[in-house]
A and B are shown apart, each in its own frame.
Chain A
Amino acid sequence: MNSKRFSPTSSTIKSRFTRRFLRALLKINRQRTRTPSSPMEICQRYLKVKLAADVSMASAVGSRRAWSRAMLAKIRHGVRTGSMCSLTMMRKRKIYHRKKSTKEVGIVGNAKVLRKLVPGGEAMDTCSLLDETFHYIKCLSTQVKVMTRIADQICST
């Protein structure tokens, strides 16, 4: 972590993600015209920030991992079909939540849930699914750490 601090070409996932994410945040900030008051605007901006975080994480990882590839593909697809599509999808998800009465138990059931969580997890066998989960968890935790630090920085100054 500290070793890569002063090298201009630092290549850890953490540093790559940090750089990209901050650049994206700056871009979003420039786009902001006024202080958003309506929930809709807040929501939209939140989505933008979250998207920026996801994209920067996935691109920092690159195409080496299946989950990053799947995530990038999904984002590109979502961008193409418009951002409103994501809202409708979320509303649909609300309906589907009610149908979860029959839960699958055991390793197979858990594997299914995991597939839904990890991006691109549907098209993998259990063995590589666990691999991808491992890498995904690592990247998510670095993402969280970096973002909390950024938030600290922002909120404290």
Chain B
Amino acid sequence: MQPCSREMQGMNSLLNPTQITLQDLQNHHHQHQQHPQQIQNSQIQHLQNSQFDPNNTHDDFLEQMFSTIPSCSWPDLNPKTPWDLKPRDLSDETPPSNPDNNVPFQFDHDSSTLASKLRNHQISGATKSSAAAAAAAIMLQQQLFMSRGAGESGLIQMPLSLGASDDVVDGSSSFKSPNTGGEGSVQALYNGFTGSLHGPGQTPNQAQHFHHPQGGQVQGQNYGAPSGVMNQGPASGSAGSAPAQPRQRVRARRGQATDPHSIAERLRRERIAERMKALQELVPNANKTDKASMLDEIIDYVKFLQLQVKVLSMSRLGGAAAVAPLVADMSSEGGGDCIQAGTNSGALGRNSNGNQTASSNDSLTVTEHQVAKLMEEDMGSAMQYLQGKGLCLMPISLATAISTATCHSRNAMINNHNNNVNNNPLLQSNGEGPSSPSMSVLTVQSATMGNGGGEASVKDNTSVSKP
């Protein structure tokens, strides 16, 4: 109750001097642009410290506030309602505004709809939302500015930097300022506002201490301003839907909080979200929408890549001797072209290997039986046997994963061999189906790998080299 009465008195005191300076506003175009915020703040302080009439109700206050709207001569507004009321303290100021009603103001269409929305809100408004309605008025003004293509950030910042109860004052005064000369320019509005602020000759050295939550809200609103301004158009309808907490004077825009902690939290969350999106493009099978399952996929992919590196490094053991000519070529050509050539020849070699895999099936089954027998006796000997063969055991799921993951890049997996005698080390994993029977065995496991889990040997179409 109290703040509203204060606001009303403040508005009165503000509006009265505004009347006086109306004529001067056109002349002051660029003079008072420097410190709008301090001006507003000091103005607010001044208003807040004045004596107030405790008898004023919220509704009267709202009516008075809306009375200023038609004084700005918005043609589509309900013209008769505010003037039918009894603005007790503004009676002296309303007549001068009346002639201004005839000034044809070219307001945009949406501004009138906004005004009607504001009116509706006021009709439905709760007591708490008087301040909210004031903020809505500010937002209307903002919308107005936006629709006019006001590029001045200072102008838009101007209403934003105030707390809600103080917004009313500024809102009303800014509503007043269009009266100046029928100027449709934003510049005039802005200057008019600041001019009016200067008019009453308030003392700038009023105590700048807002009470704490209000200061925080001012800051919070400032944070929200850059993003909030952009949302102003679509979010204008949110004026009526934002939450109005008892302590908060500033109405939160839809989906945005004004608490600095939550804003920092929101920034952090946004950063995480954009990184997750970037990761989504990198990781295959990234069609998950849930963050937790996306993280699961990422983890699996990292594990898989690390495993692939291990596998590939194991496969190098047999072929390290052949690296020498490769490196010699590399140093002369200085690039990856020999590797690419290697890829081409590897593909050719692979194709020729397809004929040989069929013949090795028999040896495969023999090996399998052998390994199975050994496994019953002693795991260690089975592993040694396998390693002697240049093979190893791995879980089927892993082999599936590896074969499907690399099927898009190449069509073969690498098998380890003890030496480089035979040139048919490569396997054909078709990769079309995830569970294609032609899967390969990879040499991953060694005694120190530490995977005590269940292993199954999947050996199909492997070609084993003879020592």
Q: Do A and B come from one complex?
A: yes
Interface size range of chain A in the complex:
35 or more
Taken residue by residue from 111 to 153, chain A's Cβ proximity to chain B (1 for < 8 Å, 0 otherwise) reads as 1011001100000001100110110111011011111111111
Give the contacting residue for B419; candidates A22, A35, A53; CB below 8 A. Answer: A35
B305 touches A90 (CB 8 A): no
Query: Is residue B326 contacting chain A, with contact meaning CB distance below 8 A?
Result: yes
Binds A, one of B149-157, B185-193, B311-319, B362-370: B311-319
CA distance A45 to B349 in the complex (A): 27
A105 touches B320 (CB 8 A): no
A157 touches B323 (CB 8 A): no
Binds B, one of A6-14, A58-66, A73-81: A6-14
User: What secondary structure prevails in chain A residues at the interface with B?
Assistant: helix
B387 touches A26 (CB 8 A): no
The smallest beta-carbon distance between B464 and chain A, in angstroms, is 14
Query: Is residue B339 contacting chain A, with contact meaning CB distance below 8 A?
Result: yes
A153 touches B452 (CB 8 A): no
Give the contacting residue for B387; candidates A32, A42, A50, A147; CB below 8 A. Answer: A42
Q: Which residues of B contact A105 (CB under 8 A)?
A: 292
Give the contacting residue for A6; candidates B323, B335, B340, B418; CB below 8 A. Answer: B335
Query: Is residue A101 contacting chain B, with contact meaning CB distance below 8 A?
Result: no
Q: Which residues of A contact B271 (CB under 8 A)?
A: 127
CA distance A50 to B320 in the complex (A): 13
CA distance A71 to B391 in the complex (A): 30
Within 8 A of A (CB), among B318-357: 319-327, 330, 334-340, 342-343, 345-346, 348-350
A146 touches B322 (CB 8 A): no
B272 touches A127 (CB 8 A): yes
B299 touches A117 (CB 8 A): yes
| A110 with B342, Cβ < 8 A, contacts A148-B410, A151-B312 known | no
New A-B pairs, 11, CB < 8 Å, besides A110-B299, A137-B283, A148-B406: A5-B337, A7-B335, A15-B336, A26-B323, A49-B317, A90-B450, A144-B309, A152-B342, A152-B426, A153-B342, A154-B319
Could you show 23 A-B contacts with beta carbons less than 8 Å apart? A1-B336, A5-B337, A19-B330, A22-B323, A39-B383, A39-B387, A39-B447, A42-B387, A50-B310, A90-B450, A127-B271, A131-B275, A134-B282, A137-B283, A140-B305, A148-B414, A149-B342, A151-B312, A153-B338, A154-B316, A154-B320, A155-B425, A156-B348
In the A-B complex, the 10 residue pairs with the closest CB atoms: A153-B342, A152-B346, A154-B319, A110-B295, A156-B349, A130-B275, A140-B305, A147-B312, A49-B313, A94-B450
